[in-house]
Amino acid sequence: MEYKVQDFCTIMEELAPLDLAMEWDNVGLQIGDVNKTVSKVLVTLSVTMDVVRNAIDQEVDLVIAHHPLIFKPLRHIRTNSPDGALLAALLKHDIAVYVAHTNLDQADTGLNHWLAREVGLKDPRIFLPVEGANAGLGRIGEVAPVALGEFAKRLEALWGCPVRIVGRDQQTVSVVAVIGGSGGDYVHQAKAAGADVLVTGDVSYHDALDATQIGLAVLDAGHFYTERIMVAEVGRYLQERFGDGICVLQDTSTNPFSF
């Protein structure tokens, strides 16, 4: 069976409806023709030049990303600039780009659902619900009581990354809130929801101070590691829906940090 870009848009929007995206976001098909035939897809967190080179080498037809390639309105496309060269390469090689960002974050069975399962939360519920929808940002649930420092070590072993700790190593935590990506803005909501600890990334100095003042522990594993699961799960979802009719590749090379 032959599949088009539009088929992938439809299937992705069954998983993460566009109307779940936050108003400031830019999601959906950002580059390409809905009528283009697709046989090979690459799933990634971000569209970087290395990802584009990989897509070209692998003869990929469609890239599905979490982070928007085009976020702010474009005033120009200068192909001697990094962003312009990236767009030019995609267009030259006829590679479409589809983005599922905050709509996937808030989807019922989207990124934060997967993150909660990966962290091991029991009976997780939506942390910040969208009014009138079975969807929302983050998840909150329970783990068997454990020392904060030990819980941090578990996450380090799970993700292969260092975890920054806000709180005392020996304090006991059992109610855990998770937000993939940047969740430091939500320390007060996490405390109000009854969480002992918030697991997220990109926590600022001032957010950490706020968490300390209100008695909330925080584990910061970084933006990349708290969202990386998107690549495998979207890849699995697409393979299940399209079967052997397509080839799904994964690219997790987009972490700019090393330790």
Neighbours of 236 (CB within 10 A): 14
C-alpha triplet 22, 25, 31: angle, nearest 5°: 140
The fold of 3-100+228-251 is 3.40.1390
* Per-residue pLDDT tens listing for the chain (259 residues): 899 999 999 999 999 999 999 999 999 999 999 999 999 999 999 999 999 999 999 999 999 999 999 998 889 999 999 999 999 999 999 999 999 999 999 999 999 999 999 999 999 999 999 999 999 999 999 999 999 999 999 999 999 999 999 999 999 999 999 999 999 999 999 999 999 999 999 999 999 999 999 999 999 999 999 999 999 999 999 999 999 889 999 999 999 998 8
Question: Which homologous superfamily is 108-221 in?
Answer: NIF3 (NGG1p interacting factor 3)-like (3.40.1390.30)
Q: What spatial distance separates the first Cα and last Cα of the chain, rounded to whole Å?
A: 45
Helix (H, G, I), strand (E, B) or coil at 16: coil
**125 contacts 141 by C-beta, under 8 angstroms:** yes
Taking the domains of the chain in order of start, what are their residue ranges? Answer: 3-100+228-251, 108-221
Q: Sign of the C-alpha dihedral, residues 121, 109, 100, 250?
A: positive
Which residues have C-beta within 8 Å of that of residue 63, sequence separation ≥ 6?
Answer: 41, 42, 43, 44, 47, 51, 52, 55, 90, 95, 96, 97, 98
The pTM for the full model equals 0.96
Tokens of 5: 């870009």
Fold match flag (3-100+228-251 vs 108-221): yes
